[in-house]
């Protein structure tokens, strides 16, 4: 039985490398369709939890992991020699930026080298990590061919960008259409057939480079438009005009406008990072990406603008940032999840600390901060009692979790700096609220 027949008969073994916010939901979809799966991760703690049937991601219930384990269709492992058991290997590893805001594809390179040691004939390798156009063919392919096997002949290679939006109530891994691209017609057919089994719709494109560029365009589009409303926010705040009111009013136009909303900065694994992947690659072709870079500058500056507004709010009560106690509400990069990646709340904590403030945080999804790529905070979430809230000189709304009782928070806070318009429906104590 060839690989295409195995896929179409649900007899292909699916291996997923990287069991985080992208890889774990994906593997659960394959289990749902009765594929035998193997999850690979270098983090032995994650592996142990999964093999016990426990979840470590807040919005993925433990019950789902337990059901996956009990089905007999799933095993997690840190033994990468078992890659040879998988017919299809999906690579979902991080692609951050280095300190110079240049692509760091070391995780892709390391994973590719590992796969090459155990690669066999009739295997399909699919990269899902967001990256610059050409990574699949120019970086992964030659590393995988160190195995002595020929790509698109002995084994197959493709790119399919992840489109995961953690805890989105309207769209899931299964219901978000999947772009697939490969530089060989059979590799593309295999990839499309595989995802057709678990995703509502697949969108084939002509090459892996086109698929890679698709992912970047999606997130550059969002980055640029968010930068636009962030810049509008600063302008309109000076004019005494509420940006959120303006966006909501503009959104009533049934054509030619799509609402984007300002915030304290960009967070998550894609939007703050992906634009710089294209900027870096464009240099190879002597192309300047001024528009993309300008948007990046605007969004990167937003935490500094928020701190400026905190300073202005404290100044109204004859206080300075230095020596003040500040509470940040929400550390995750968006509401109702436990994901810290690139969260602007971390930057806010860093800037305020450098300016001499004593900074605490509360986040119902993140009981304590862990080391990230940039920061090594060891803070723990403080309890959100009326007494605690009233003890701070300023409270910053950085992430508007649905669990927060805004009326109580505003009632007991001395000053509220609201970066998310979370307090828009409140009628009482509005004199305490400063928009940022």
pLDDT tens readout for residues 145-196: 999 999 999 999 999 999 988 878 889 999 999 999 999 999 999 999 999 9
Identify the band that residue 322 occupies on the pLDDT scale cut at 50, 70 and 90.
very high
Q: Output the six-digit token pair for 78.
A: 């840190």
Clarify whether residues 333 and 368 are in a common domain: yes
Q: Which domain holds residue 77?
A: 3-206
Do 250 and 168 have their domain in common?
no
- Residue finishing a domain among 172, 206, 240: 206
Same domain, 255 and 200: no
pLDDT tens by residue, 308-317: 999 999 999 9
Q: Is the dihedral of CA 265, 271, 277, 280 positive or negative?
A: negative
Whether residues 359 and 419 share a domain: the answer is yes
- As a whole number of angstroms, the distance between CA 436 and CA 433 comes to 10
> Does one domain contain both 402 and 349?
yes
Task: Tell me what the pLDDT averaged over the chain comes to.
Answer: 95
Q: Which residues are tagged catalytic?
A: 270
Show the tokens assigned to 16: 């997923």
Angle at the Cα of 12 (from 92 to 85), degrees rounded to 5?
70
Examine residue 160 and state whether it is found in any structural domain, yes or no.
Answer: yes
The beta strand positions in 234-313, using DSSP E, are: none
Closest alpha carbon to 89 in 108, 69, 70: 108
Structural domain total, the chain: 2
- Is 211 within a domain? no
Q: Are residues 294 and 243 in the same domain?
A: yes
Query: Which residues are 380's β-sheet partners?
Result: 368
**354: phi > 0 → left, psi -120 to 50 → alpha, else beta; which?**
alpha
Terminal Cα distance for the chain, rounded:
61
CB of 60 within 8 A of CB of 26? no
Single out the residue in 206, 238, 254 at which a domain terminates: 206
Q: Which pTM was predicted?
A: 0.93
Q: Considering the domain boundaries, does residue 300 fall inside one?
A: yes
SS3 for 416? strand
Measured CA distances, 224 to 253, 302, 430 (Å)? 20, 14, 32
In tens, the pLDDT along 385-433 reads 999 999 999 999 999 999 999 999 999 999 999 999 999 999 999 999 9
């Amino acid at each position: 039985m060839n690989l295409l027949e195995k896929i179409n008969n649900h007899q292909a073994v699916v291996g997923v490398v990287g069991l985080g916010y992208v890889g774990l939901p994906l593997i659960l979809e394959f289990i749902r369709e009765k594929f035998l799966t193997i999850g690979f991760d270098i983090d032995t703690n994650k592996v142990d939890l999964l093999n016990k049937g426990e979840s470590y991601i807040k919005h993925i219930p433990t019950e789902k992991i337990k059901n996956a384990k009990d089905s007999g269709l799933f095993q997690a492992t840190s033994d990468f020699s078992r890659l040879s058991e998988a017919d299809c290997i999906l690579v979902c590893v991080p692609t951050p930026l280095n300190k110079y805001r240049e692509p760091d594809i070391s995780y892709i390179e390391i994973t590719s080298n590992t796969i090459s040691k155990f690669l066999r004939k009739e295997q399909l390798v699919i990269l899902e990590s967001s990256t610059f156009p050409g990574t699949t063919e120019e970086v992964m392919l030659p590393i995988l061919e160190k195995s002595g096997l020929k790509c698109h002949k002995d084994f197959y290679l493709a790119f399919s960008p992840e489109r995961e939006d953690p805890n989105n109530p309207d769209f899931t891994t299964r219901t978000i259409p999947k772009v697939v691209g490969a530089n060989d017609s059979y590799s593309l057919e295999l990839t499309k057939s595989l995802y057709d089994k678990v995703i509502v719709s697949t969108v084939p494109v002509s090459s892996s480079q086109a698929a890679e560029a698709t992912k970047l365009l999606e997130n550059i589009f969002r980055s640029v438009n968010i930068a636009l409303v962030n810049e509008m926010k600063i302008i309109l705040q000076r004019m005494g005009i509420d940006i959120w009111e303006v966006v909501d009013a503009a959104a009533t136009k049934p054509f030619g406008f799509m609402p984007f909303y300002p915030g304290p900065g960009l967070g998550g694994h894609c939007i703050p990072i992906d634009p710089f992947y294209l900027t870096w690659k464009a240099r190879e072709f002597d192309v300047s990406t001024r528009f993309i870079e300008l948007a990046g500058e605007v969004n990167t500056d937003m935490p500094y603008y928020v701190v400026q507004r905190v300073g202005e709010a404290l100044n109204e009560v004859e206080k300075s940032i230095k020596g003040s106690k500040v509470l940040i509400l929400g550390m995750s990069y968006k509401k109702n999840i436990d994901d810290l990646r690139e969260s602007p709340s971390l930057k806010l904590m860093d800037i305020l600390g450098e300016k001499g403030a004593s900074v605490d945080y509360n986040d119902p999804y993140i009981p304590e901060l862990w080391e990230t790529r940039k920061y090594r905070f060891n803070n723990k979430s403080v309890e959100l009692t009326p007494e605690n809230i009233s003890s701070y000189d300023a409270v910053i709304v950085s992430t508007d979790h649905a669990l927060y009782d805004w009326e109580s928070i505003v009632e007991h806070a001395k000053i509220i700096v609201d970066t998310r318009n979370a307090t828009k429906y409140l009628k009482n104590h509005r004199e305490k609220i400063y928009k940022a």
